[in-house]
Structure 1
Amino acid sequence: MGSSAKIRVMLSSRCNDPFSDDGKTTLSDIRRELKKEIESQKILGRSVFEVWINEDAPPADATHDSWEACMQAVRDCDVLIVPSNGNAGWAKTGGDIGICHAEYTEGLALARGKVRLIALPWVALGTGDQGARNQRFRDELNRQTAFRGGEVKSIDDLKKRVFEALADAVVVLTQRGVKSSASSRFGMGQALDWTRLDFGARKREMENVVRNALAMQPGAKALGDDVVLPLGGQNIGVVVHAIPAAFTVAAAREMVGRPFLRDHERTSLLAKAQGPLHLIACHRTATETQARALLGFPDAIVVSDLFGVYVADEVQKVQFAFLVNCRDDAQTRHALQRFLEWLDQSAEVQRLATRAQSRAKIVRVIAAENKNT
């Protein structure tokens, strides 16, 4: 994102599509009005917003075509607001995605938290290449399942929703920024206090923070050292672990081992929940290669994101996640928050719940078999 003395807001939508009962007012007209209204807003007497719309953008230099100019604007903005009517926009060739589709996916890829989607009534799908582009865009919007509120149908409601989205983004991104920078210096404060601990004490401290943060989630219930957490419409048993040093330190890594191999011993947890899901707080970083090594074989779903690494085995239905850089209370809670947000935003939470149901069935059979032998 580009450096600026102001908060950069980009409004991404179709330009010439009408959005009014009389069919005369276009989305481009509304974006121009919104630009003026947003930039006129002040915080503590100071103008802090700068709005980018392609209608008012200066000509790009010779190295940028109009497509790349829009992509650069997405990269540079701090908040991307997308009022979408399901029209993917123009494209260079018939097989390409539309410009509106590209701006939306570019924003999600760069920083999902800065994107705000506003649902407008969808225009007619269309035919030919444009219809295919529009369908791809709508499939993407449905797949991402971004929260967008109710559908906006009037100009006044659209403007109101844009202001609500911008206010929410300013508050949320400010809070996340504070949390993210809270422990950027690991040689001071609580991060240093944790570093002074031996492996056993640090492991307990890390695990306690994750458990307490989980127990504060809506509908969560503590069950001994484990937590039952509602996810995807199911009660998921969450088991917390911690690696109190770098993953490459064998003594620290072996304090966790392969915890899913003992799932059948968690009879009290499995009596009340599905799963389990293992959360492993890592004092340092973790890689996809290390996650596969812990699982024991490479053919699995492995996803890296801001929180760390998530692993799901579609055969045994084992699931675990590494929460990285858990150096102190704030960083640990932030990693967990990012993981839970990723589950919702990616729609992986439903798949996690389904796997957890299957894993519980497998583990209960193993437990019963061991009891009979």
Structure 2
Amino acid sequence: MADIPRLRVMFSSRAATRVFGDTTLTELRLALKAQVEGIRIGGHQPFEVWIHEDDPAPAGRTILEGSLDEISRADVVLVLYTGEAGSAEADSSIGICHAELQEALARRRDVVSVIALEPLIEPSADRDEVFQAYVTRRRLIHARVQDRDGLFAVALRLLMQRFVELAKRGARPTGRRVDQGAALDWARLDLPGRAAAMRSALVDALDGVPTEQGVLYTLAPPGLAPARLLLRVDAIPAALGVAAARERVGQPFYTDHLCAGLLEAEDAIGPIHLLACHRGVTESQALRLLGTSNAVAVASEFGVFAAEDVMQTQVVLLAQCVDAGGVMLALRRFLEWLGREGEVSNLLRRARARRAIVAAIASGRDAVGWPEA
């Protein structure tokens, strides 16, 4: 019988730093590795752990290069965070610990866990300050511990949590099913009927104030003042490749100037376009919707977020909105992504600029007596 594959775990941290009194991180990592690899499920070993001490970088390669290779192989990355960025190679402005964490997050954020070993080390170099600001700004810390027992308990809990999450993700279908329940009810509708149901579900999920021009929604991110946004809501009731569905929406930001009066009266910013899509969405489809390739398009679990910095247009395409539950899930994932990745400030900056642009367009049309379509 073939061997059962194991989940590969990488510990990322300093080595010689002393924590919890007088214990080096090397001692802790070796002990934690032994405990994790000692776990058995039905007599089988589910985890194998990689640490620098067991596998120094091969000749001709730097420690960082070896670490980045291991990050690409790891199923789970556990960061033991002391506040130190680590040594810097050549003329790099960031330390090795910072570079490892940055690379792990860029590859797969959802398998990275950060444990803060308190008290954190006071910065001794500029790169330490940069690293601590990076971790704080992105709110990366999952847990804080103050002794060895606390570290081991938290580390094992986080590893088992990742283990279960990976198993569930592997067993989950890639898209939401449309052949049963409420999704089947929506699938039976014609395009106008399905679009109306999707719009209604999105308005309900937002829990804002509906208006003729969109939904007034208050975003209250941690650490920032609450902002009132105007979200123009619509739906694409079939795959984006279906012209009849896509053309129902067109390029809605061309009529944003009609919202100028509401934005001023309600002291709101935007608008931002929020589109529920019945099926999947790609970055290229989002860029075509914006009408330019010179824009930012980011695909994530919720769908695609696209924005361009000339007219400050922002469009959120929520994917797999096959029923009301799918709409709520996609919206929640989008809001979580905004907070997790620190994109709220960028969203609000563009929305404020968009309000000014919309007001200028509306004022210019009024000045020349331009008729509304």
TM-score (norm 1): 0.75
Structure 2 partner of 1:302: 297
Residue 81 (structure 1) aligned with residue 81 (structure 2): no
**Does the CA contact (< 8 Å) of 1:203 and 1:242 recur in 2?**
yes
Which secondary structure does the structure 1 equivalent of 2:141 belong to?
coil
Assess, with a 3 A threshold, how the Cα gap between structure 1 residues 33 and 213 changes in structure 2: closer, same or farther. Answer: farther
**Does the CA contact (< 8 Å) of 2:135 and 2:141 recur in 1?**
no
In 2: Cα distance, 1:85 partner to 1:191 partner: 48
**Does the CA contact (< 8 Å) of 2:10 and 2:51 recur in 1?**
no
Q: Which of 191, 195, 198 is the equivalent residue of 1:203? A: 195
Structure 2 partner of 1:319: 314
In 2: Cα distance, 1:164 partner to 1:214 partner: 34
Assess, with a 3 A threshold, how the Cα gap between structure 1 residues 66 and 194 changes in structure 2: closer, same or farther. Answer: farther
How far 1:317 moved relative to its partner?
Answer: 2.4
Residue 223 (structure 1) aligned with residue 215 (structure 2): no
In 1: Cα distance, 2:331 partner to 2:87 partner: 39
How far 1:256 moved relative to its partner?
Answer: 0.8
How far 1:228 moved relative to its partner?
Answer: 0.9
Structure 2 partner of 1:359: 354
Which whole-Å deviations, capped at 9, do the CAs of 1:262-308 have from their partners, x for residues lacking one?
A: 23334556643322211122233444443333323343333333433
How far 1:319 moved relative to its partner?
Answer: 1.3
Structure 2, unmatched stretches of 5+, are none
In 2: Cα distance, 1:190 partner to 1:46 partner: 43
Structure 1, unmatched stretches of 5+, are 216-220
Structure 1 partner of 2:135: 141
**Does the CA contact (< 8 Å) of 1:287 and 1:309 recur in 2?**
yes
In 2: Cα distance, 1:83 partner to 1:212 partner: 42
How far 1:13 moved relative to its partner?
Answer: 1.2
How far 1:93 moved relative to its partner?
Answer: 4.0
Which secondary structure does the structure 2 equivalent of 1:181 belong to?
coil
In 2: Cα distance, 1:61 partner to 1:196 partner: 60
Amino acid at match of 1:264: H
CA RMSD of superposed structures (Å): 4.0
Q: Number of residue pairs matched?
A: 357
Assess, with a 3 A threshold, how the Cα gap between structure 1 residues 319 and 39 changes in structure 2: closer, same or farther. Answer: same
Amino acid at match of 2:254: L
Amino acid at match of 1:26: T
Amino acid at match of 1:211: V
**Does the CA contact (< 8 Å) of 1:182 and 1:330 recur in 2?**
no
Which secondary structure does the structure 2 equivalent of 1:352 belong to?
helix
Which whole-Å deviations, capped at 9, do the CAs of 1:144-174 have from their partners, x for residues lacking one?
A: x134267654444444543564466567667
In 1: Cα distance, 2:54 partner to 2:327 partner: 41
Calculate percent identity across the aligned residue pairs.
37
Assess, with a 3 A threshold, how the Cα gap between structure 1 residues 49 and 12 changes in structure 2: closer, same or farther. Answer: farther
Which whole-Å deviations, capped at 9, do the CAs of 1:339-361 have from their partners, x for residues lacking one?
A: 22221122111121122223234
TM-score (norm 2): 0.75
Which whole-Å deviations, capped at 9, do the CAs of 1:209-254 have from their partners, x for residues lacking one?
A: 3333333xxxxx2425625141543122222222122323322112
Equivalent residue runs for 1:274-285 within 5 Å:
274-285=269-280
**Does the CA contact (< 8 Å) of 1:237 and 1:270 recur in 2?**
no
Structure 2 partner of 1:218: none
How far 1:367 moved relative to its partner?
Answer: 4.9
